[in-house]
Structure 1
Amino acid sequence: MLRSTTTALATVLLASGAFAQNMEITKSGSRDGMIASSDTFTGTAYVEPVFSNQDPFVVNGGKVTFLPGARSHWHTHPAGQVLIVTDGTGWVQEEGQEKQVMQAGDVVWCPPDVKHWHGATDGTAVTHYAIQQFEDGENVVWMEPVTDAQYGAPAE
């Protein structure tokens, strides 16, 4: 009886595809990056996709390196965003708040629909991983550029 139950369970699991998926390793240096578009960034930023939105994992992530003076435009994320700073020093700002310093080792959480920008300082580069979840097929809403006056305001 035990043997037939085990065989039946194994058959159901195999038929359902429960064992059909395998782990996937993407080797470092195998992902093609690109210089970020001036439609969404000011200055020079290099964007390297790290992982894409693939059901059932409805998030994507990218590694972004901003050269000194580079920054994103203002934007929001329908389901929020996490930034994991890995190298350098940068700035991040929520609309209506003071600009803040972010450094290697810092983790920044930006709640859903909060207008913000992030990037390098005027004298140092910064690299971070940006991770955002999709909501209704969308993960970012791009807005206007950060002005030089907004960017140059003192950091907290």
Structure 2
Amino acid sequence: MDIHAAGTRPTTRANPDYFTGTVWMDPVIGSKPPARLNALVVSFEPGARTAWHTHPLGQTLYVMSGTGRVCLRGEAPQIIRAGDTVWIPPHEDHWHGAGPDTGMVHMAMQETQDGSAADWGDHVTDAEFHQEPL
């Protein structure tokens, strides 16, 4: 058994290759094989978001606070709020992040396959981000 006491693992700034704006990440779990779960608490400042990406085994988002957006490629963004849970199936190209004027914090849970939990693509443009949500 491993216990990670609160405050013993540092908050890190998200990699700008995969995120736009100010995004902070706190680890929850990076399990060891044969388990595959990887989970992070991700804090997005207003306007911040991920790049387009997919997950080999899908992803679950649980919105902990604030209001944000999630979007599938080719569709309009959808608003997500504290208490919402989002399931994104494997290989579905998507992005998620804060709203234009609101911060958002979510727990992101995904499984690794062959050592990878995500495949990253291009950055979300301002036009894509500001598209009128559903």
Q: TM-score range by the shorter chain?
A: over 0.9
Matched pairs, number: 134
Instruction: State percent identity of aligned pairs.
Output: 43
How far apart, CA to CA, are the structure 1 residues paired with 2:59 and 2:9?
22
2:94 counterpart of 1:113? no
Moved more, 24-33 or 64-73: 24-33
Does residue 55 in structure 1 map to residue 33 in structure 2? yes
SS at match of 1:149: helix
- Higher Cα Rg: structure 1 or 2? 1
How far, CA to CA, are the matches of 1:38 and 1:135 in structure 2? 23
1:1-156 matched pairs, under 5 angstroms: 23-156=1-134
Please list every run of 5 or more consecutive structure 1 residues that lacks an aligned counterpart in the other structure.
Answer: 1-22
Q: Comparing both structures, which one devotes a greater share of its residues to helix? A: 1
Write the deviation string for residues 50-77 of structure 1: whole angstroms up to 9, x where unpaired: 1113122211111100000000000000
Contact 1:74 1:142 in 2 (8 A): yes
Q: What's the C-alpha RMSD, in Å, of the aligned pairs?
A: 0.9
More strand by share: 2
Q: TM-score, normalised by structure 1?
A: 0.83
* Structure 1 Cα separation of the partners of residues 81 and 66 of structure 2: 6
Between the aligned partners of 1:28 and 1:106, the Cα distance in structure 2 is 25
SS in 1 for 2:83: coil
Where do 5+ consecutive residues of structure 2 fail to align?
Answer: none
Misfit runs of 4+, over 3 Å: none
- Could you tell me how far 1:86 is from its partner in structure 2? 0.3
